[in-house]
Chains A and B, each alone.
Chain A
Amino acid sequence: NAGVTQTPKFRILKIGQSMTLQCTQDMNHNYMYWYRQDPGMGLKLIYYSVGAGITDKGEVPNGYNVSRSTTEDFPLRLELAAPSQTSVYFCASSYSNRGRRTGELFFGEGSRLTVL
């Protein structure tokens, strides 16, 4: 079982460059999430999706965009990279049970991004 797969694992960007963090899951989960993790700050929600074609902003969406064209994929795009976006990014997925969200998240291994 692959679970949640993120690529790339590491990336260095220059200020102003753009890139996409890829996330795919093979568990047929309808909910998907992007979090960023900064030292001593826990995880902050960037964007989430409740299904293909539906996305919504989380707590810290500025500077990011997402799309959800399929159930499996949930890419995160950084348009104009800034040093403040240096972080570790985690993609996660979740499922519902009898129509109710269970809350349990399954995480990828993370993508470490440095913006210089």
Chain B
Amino acid sequence: AQSVTQLGSHVSVSEGALVLLRCNYSSSVPPYLFWYVQYPNQGLQLLLKYTSAATLVKGINGFEAEFKKSETSFHLTKPSAHMSDAAEYFCAVSDRGGGADGLTFGKGTHLIIQP
């Protein structure tokens, strides 16, 4: 069974500072990995995804994530936080085997940007 652990339910950074949101996964096969962002009262939208090409994945809004198989991690980073980055972020894993049963999500990390 797959699982995702996001370390820290809330992360607070100053505007302009580095953003680091942590995600570790557990999967029996090399997975697909995703980061989604949810702004208040909205659905989730895809930030970026890893599907076995380059291990460093670039997404929208200046975010990137690095797949590290040895650490079973897929941490999300952004060099300089902006106030508009305040949102809930979800890491998710999918079985590469082709099963149809959706994504397994972490519990989410609420990113707070301090002015």
Contact = CB atoms under 8 A, between A and B. Distances in A.
A105 B100 contact: no
Contacts of B44: 43, 90, 92, 105, 107
A56 B101 contact: yes
A42 B34 contact: no
A33 interface: yes
B108 A105 contact: no
Contact of B106 (A31, A42, A90, A108): A42
**Which size class do B's interface residues fall under?**
20 to 34
A50 interface: yes
B102 interface: yes
Q: Determine chain B's interface SS by DSSP, over half rule.
A: loop
B34 A103 contact: yes
Contacts of B99: 101
Interface of A: 4, 31, 33, 35, 40-43, 45, 48, 50, 56, 58, 90, 92, 94, 100-105, 107-110
Contact of B94 (A43, A90, A103, A107): A103
A92 B46 CA distance: 12
A109 B101 contact: no
Contact of B43 (A33, A104, A109): A109
28 contacts: A4-B43, A31-B102, A35-B102, A42-B90, A42-B106, A42-B107, A43-B105, A45-B102, A48-B101, A56-B101, A58-B102, A90-B44, A101-B98, A101-B99, A103-B32, A103-B34, A103-B49, A103-B51, A104-B46, A105-B36, A105-B46, A107-B43, A107-B45, A108-B43, A109-B41, A109-B43, A110-B41, A110-B43
A56 B103 CA distance: 14
Interface in B29-57: 32, 34, 36, 41-46, 49, 51
B34 A41 contact: no
Interface string B79-95: 00000000000100010
